[in-house]
Chain A
Amino acid sequence: MIRYITQRLTESVIVLFVMSFIIYALIGLMPGDPVDLMISANPRATAEDAARLRALYGLDRPIGERYLAWLGAALQGDLGYSRLNSRPVLEVLWPRLGNTVALMGVSFVLAIMLALPCGIVAALRPRTATDTSINLIAFAGISVPPFWLAILLIILFAVVLGWLPAGGMPPSGAGLGAQAAYLALPVATLTIVTVGGIVRFVRAAMIEALRQDYVRTAWAKGLGERQVVLGHVLRNAMIPVVTILALNFGALFSGALITETMFGYLGMGKTIYDAILGNDFNLALVGLLLATATTLLANLAADLCYTWLDPRITYK
């Protein structure tokens, strides 16, 4: 088991290194450089200013050299400064990561709390009206474009009803109520988009688990539905669910990016997006790596949960 964990961790680290070079190269392929953006905003800047700034930031060296320089510094803990924020990259990213985790966490938990009972009920009553309607709603959830949903929610709750703020971060020192108000719409959006997929997985996994022989044995033994479900089926149904949940972590991240951008919520997704579009190379690079690392870690955690849930599976 320990060996498995170490092996997976090593693999993840390798993936991270490979990703870091790929992303570095991709960002290097982006047009222009930060100096041009700086110059275009300043009417008094001259061509000499531009050349000098470019040399100063080392933007005139070849990409391999720049990558190795970056890597060397990164391994020593120096991940550079964010150009858009004039602060060290990690100092910018940590609080944003926290915000995203809060958003994703709350949405995830809400989605699971909604999806589990719905999926289970739908599986227990296949082809009934309940099942069909739950299925329909689930499909709707996975089919709705998240950014459109955000717009609709804003129209309904902020413009027409005026109950909730249309975006932004809660003022500092704001009470729990105010913070909840600012989080409400982003969480709603992310939850709606996530819950559909989870419902379908839970339902499918439950159906599959219900088909198993041991279930029929339990029925034959005369155990009640609830005992059968809770005792046997649920645990086994959770296995594929956990896998899928972990695999969806990456998707959740993407959903969070859209939600954050639509609502001006200062999370990782929005930070990465702004960094890419603003040619803030350092921030974009480290942000993407952090996102990848988080997803890889989530996958590893899911695999470990898998073992815990299904004692039949062992890792060599």
Chain B
Amino acid sequence: MTARLAAILCAAVLGLSAATVARAAELKIGMSQFPSSFNPHFDAAVAKSYALQMTQRPITAYDQDWELICLLCIEIPTLENGQAKLETLSDGGQGIAVTYRLQPEATWGDGTPVTSADMVFTWEAGRHPKSGFGNFEIFRRMLAVDVIDEKTFTLHVDRVDFTYSAAPFELLPAHLERAVFEVDPAAYRNRSTYETDTTNPGLAFGPYRIVEVVPGSRIVLVPNPTWWGTPPAFERITLLVIENTAALEANLLSGAIDMIAGELGVTIDQALAFEKRHGDRFNIVYKPGLIYEHVDLNSANPILTDKRVRHALIHGLDREALNRTLFGGKQPVAQTSVSPLDWVYDPDVPSYDFDPERAKALLEEAGWIPGAGGMRQNASGERLTLELMTTAGNRSRELVSQVLQSQWRELGIDARIRNEPARVFFGETLNKRKFTGAAMYAWVSSPENVPRTTLYSDQIPTAENNWAGQNYSGLANAEMDAVIDAIDIELDRGKRKALWSRLQHLYAEELQIIPLYWRASSFILPKWLKGVRPTGHQNSTTLWVEDWYAEGR
């Protein structure tokens, strides 16, 4: 009797473990947007990278610990290990030659190996004036590509900055794309195999490849036999696009999808509400990311040129309460544009508490005294009016802007809200600096991203320079310029960190931009799914999709 029981138990245990270790059948992921195209070099968008990063990888990328790692190469080339060498350019300037060795087993899904020829093609296509690649500049800076052998090549770049080791771009399969490209480079964007034959196995070398695409609706992936890394755990991954976030939740609860992609899923408050109702059935992970929500103060506005007014504005905001009540505490208050997860973050930067008394004192000092209707005015009787703009249709932002308005009105500032749809706001208002006072929006950045375009004085968009640059606040500080220049070329980590500290201190003191908070992504995962590690920056969790597995399903 006991022997029998033991046997049954053994069988059961074996059976169970086999079931949990065996490849799980299918993973259905819900996301809120369908990619507008599939070629990695056009229209950078989260929806696209989420799907594509399961099928191919950039050469290097930042991982979950914000360290630069090799995904397609073998070793990160540095000056120290000799894979990178400084060189003098023909015009006398300093350049750098960086050598990469590709993974020997990297093979496209149709059997063709990933080789230096792919790098050469990507480079030629990328720097072609008519191709329209999104990061044309990266390729333009590569003066030459030397093919050392099938898997090794050297890039000659025309400048030296501390990001020289990174090759954050994807390789295109030359054996499929070169012919298409050469027919008509200007039309490559729409004729690329990625668009005309998305399910072609030769487009993928990663753990999965795309086998089915229903435009606007669904993308289906299966394991790619040519993948060299950890065998993927799922036989099939289906990406279901459900644009309506309430429908996303409903589908999750009904089991039509297993998880909601954090990178493009529901908003924080929806996730918080969901957690309250169904937190026991799912794992909900909040990861603050590199999406920096802030308020630009237009330097052209005479009211805002007084630093005391700017400091008053930030002292009058209870950002902690904002985070607590609107976002359940999941979106930490920002002190500067540098994220606390970034290694160059300086925790000793001046921070501004909610202090309305101090704010009022500062305003009085600056000459703004309470007048009629509780709103302040200066000696000449002008009202302290401030227009706050942000994107309409974004509920979170609309709520926050109304909070800001309300809290500033308490200080006696006649704050007015004017919202515009995103395409107007980003298309015209911001980049032509048409906002008169404050503009609230977010910057998406990457680890240790030098804020040149947003903080450098020559990046202020004007009619003369054809509205180039992203320094919408109009910050023009000579020391900031100098620090940014210095950071760029400083290869020594210690010295660079000190420079970054200086940048952050300057940023916080000048306060031309009011930091609000770091937006978080909410990942709603089933309890049985393990291995999903949110990164907190723009690289998706799918860059490591081969590490995901099901346990105890």
Q: Which residues of A contact B (CB under 8 A)?
A: 30-33, 36-38, 40-53, 56-57, 81, 83-88, 92, 95, 154, 158-159, 162, 165-169, 171-172, 262-264, 266, 277-279
Stretch with Cβ within 8 A of A (4 or more), from B315-323, B381-389, B439-447 = B439-447
- Tell whether, in the assembled complex, residue A264 and residue B242 are in contact, meaning their CB atoms are under 8 Å apart: yes
- Tell whether, in the assembled complex, residue B218 and residue A171 are in contact, meaning their CB atoms are under 8 Å apart: yes
A38-B43, A41-B444, A50-B468 known; A165-B426 Cβ under 8 A: no
- What are 19 A-B interface contacts by the 8 Å CB criterion? A31-B427, A31-B429, A32-B423, A33-B427, A41-B43, A41-B444, A49-B135, A49-B136, A50-B468, A52-B129, A52-B132, A86-B38, A86-B190, A88-B190, A95-B215, A165-B256, A167-B244, A264-B242, A264-B243
Say yes or no: is B254 at the interface (Cβ < 8 Å to chain A). yes
A86-B38, A262-B244 known; A56-B134 Cβ under 8 A: no
Docked pose: A159 CA to B429 CA in angstroms: 40
- Tell whether, in the assembled complex, residue B445 and residue A52 are in contact, meaning their CB atoms are under 8 Å apart: no
Docked pose: A92 CA to B37 CA in angstroms: 13
Stretch with Cβ within 8 A of A (4 or more), from B146-154, B245-253, B345-353, B400-408 = B245-253
A42-B44, A158-B250, A168-B247 known; A37-B215 Cβ under 8 A: no
Q: Which residue of A lies closest to B194 (CB)?
A: A86
Q: A41-B44, A47-B469, A264-B243 are in contact. List 11 more A-B contacts (CB 8 A).
A: A37-B423, A40-B426, A47-B459, A57-B132, A162-B250, A167-B244, A167-B247, A171-B240, A264-B242, A264-B247, A266-B216
Q: Tell me the minimal C-beta distance from A22 to chain B in angstroms.
A: 20
Q: Tell me the minimal C-beta distance from A87 to chain B in angstroms.
A: 6
- Tell whether, in the assembled complex, residue B468 and residue A47 are in contact, meaning their CB atoms are under 8 Å apart: yes
Docked pose: A45 CA to B454 CA in angstroms: 12
Query: What are the 4 tightest A-B residue pairs by CB atom distance, in nearest-first order?
Result: A32-B427, A47-B468, A86-B37, A167-B247
- Tell whether, in the assembled complex, residue B137 and residue A48 are in contact, meaning their CB atoms are under 8 Å apart: yes
Contact digits for B106-140, partner A, Cβ 8 Å, 1 yes 0 no: 00000000000000000000000110101111100
Q: Tell me the minimal C-beta distance from B320 to chain A in angstroms.
A: 28
Within 8 A of A (CB), among B222-262: 240-244, 246-247, 249-251, 253-254, 256
Say yes or no: is B453 at the interface (Cβ < 8 Å to chain A). yes
Say yes or no: is B521 at the interface (Cβ < 8 Å to chain A). no
A56-B130, A92-B215 known; A36-B426 Cβ under 8 A: yes
Contacts of A168 in B (CB 8 A): 217, 240-242, 244, 247, 251
Q: Which residue of A lies closest to B238 (CB)?
A: A171
- Tell whether, in the assembled complex, residue A86 and residue B189 are in contact, meaning their CB atoms are under 8 Å apart: yes
- Tell whether, in the assembled complex, residue A38 and residue B134 are in contact, meaning their CB atoms are under 8 Å apart: yes
Say yes or no: is B374 at the interface (Cβ < 8 Å to chain A). no
- Tell whether, in the assembled complex, residue B44 and residue A169 are in contact, meaning their CB atoms are under 8 Å apart: no
Say yes or no: is B45 at the interface (Cβ < 8 Å to chain A). yes
Docked pose: A50 CA to B466 CA in angstroms: 10
Q: Which residues of B contact A (CB under 8 A)?
A: 36-39, 42-45, 129-130, 132, 134-138, 186, 189-190, 195, 212, 214-218, 240-244, 246-247, 249-251, 253-254, 256, 421-424, 426-429, 431, 443-446, 449, 453, 459, 465-466, 468-470, 538
Q: Tell me the minimal C-beta distance from A282 to chain B in angstroms.
A: 11
- Tell whether, in the assembled complex, residue A172 and residue B214 are in contact, meaning their CB atoms are under 8 Å apart: yes
- Tell whether, in the assembled complex, residue B195 and residue A86 are in contact, meaning their CB atoms are under 8 Å apart: yes
Q: Which residue of A lies closest to B429 (CB)?
A: A31
- Tell whether, in the assembled complex, residue A56 and residue B428 are in contact, meaning their CB atoms are under 8 Å apart: no
Q: Tell me the minimal C-beta distance from B465 to chain A in angstroms.
A: 8
Q: Which residue of B lies closest to A82 (CB)?
A: B36
Q: Which residue of A lies closest to B214 (CB)?
A: A172
Docked pose: A218 CA to B340 CA in angstroms: 89
Q: Which residue of A lies closest to B39 (CB)?
A: A86
- Tell whether, in the assembled complex, residue A166 and residue B251 are in contact, meaning their CB atoms are under 8 Å apart: yes
- Tell whether, in the assembled complex, residue A56 and residue B132 are in contact, meaning their CB atoms are under 8 Å apart: yes
- Tell whether, in the assembled complex, residue B36 and residue A36 are in contact, meaning their CB atoms are under 8 Å apart: no
Our pick among B36, B251, B254, B449 for the contact of A83 (Cβ within 8 Å) is: B36
Docked pose: A159 CA to B245 CA in angstroms: 13
Docked pose: A239 CA to B431 CA in angstroms: 56
Contacts of A158 in B (CB 8 A): 247, 250
- Tell whether, in the assembled complex, residue A172 and residue B134 are in contact, meaning their CB atoms are under 8 Å apart: no
Q: Tell me the minimal C-beta distance from B515 to chain A in angstroms.
A: 17
Our pick among A36, A81, A169, A171 for the contact of B431 (Cβ within 8 Å) is: A36
A43-B443, A49-B134, A50-B468 known; A277-B423 Cβ under 8 A: yes
- Tell whether, in the assembled complex, residue A166 and residue B190 are in contact, meaning their CB atoms are under 8 Å apart: no
Docked pose: A294 CA to B443 CA in angstroms: 43
- Tell whether, in the assembled complex, residue B36 and residue A85 are in contact, meaning their CB atoms are under 8 Å apart: yes
Docked pose: A56 CA to B186 CA in angstroms: 8
Q: Which residue of A lies closest to B467 (CB)?
A: A47
Our pick among B137, B214, B253, B426 for the contact of A37 (Cβ within 8 Å) is: B426
- Tell whether, in the assembled complex, residue A159 and residue B468 are in contact, meaning their CB atoms are under 8 Å apart: no
- Tell whether, in the assembled complex, residue A85 and residue B135 are in contact, meaning their CB atoms are under 8 Å apart: no
Q: Which residue of B lies closest to A38 (CB)?
A: B43
- Tell whether, in the assembled complex, residue B134 and residue A30 are in contact, meaning their CB atoms are under 8 Å apart: no
- Tell whether, in the assembled complex, residue B247 and residue A166 are in contact, meaning their CB atoms are under 8 Å apart: yes
Q: Which residue of A lies closest to B421 (CB)?
A: A277
Contacts of B195 in A (CB 8 A): 86-87
- Tell whether, in the assembled complex, residue B424 and residue A31 are in contact, meaning their CB atoms are under 8 Å apart: yes
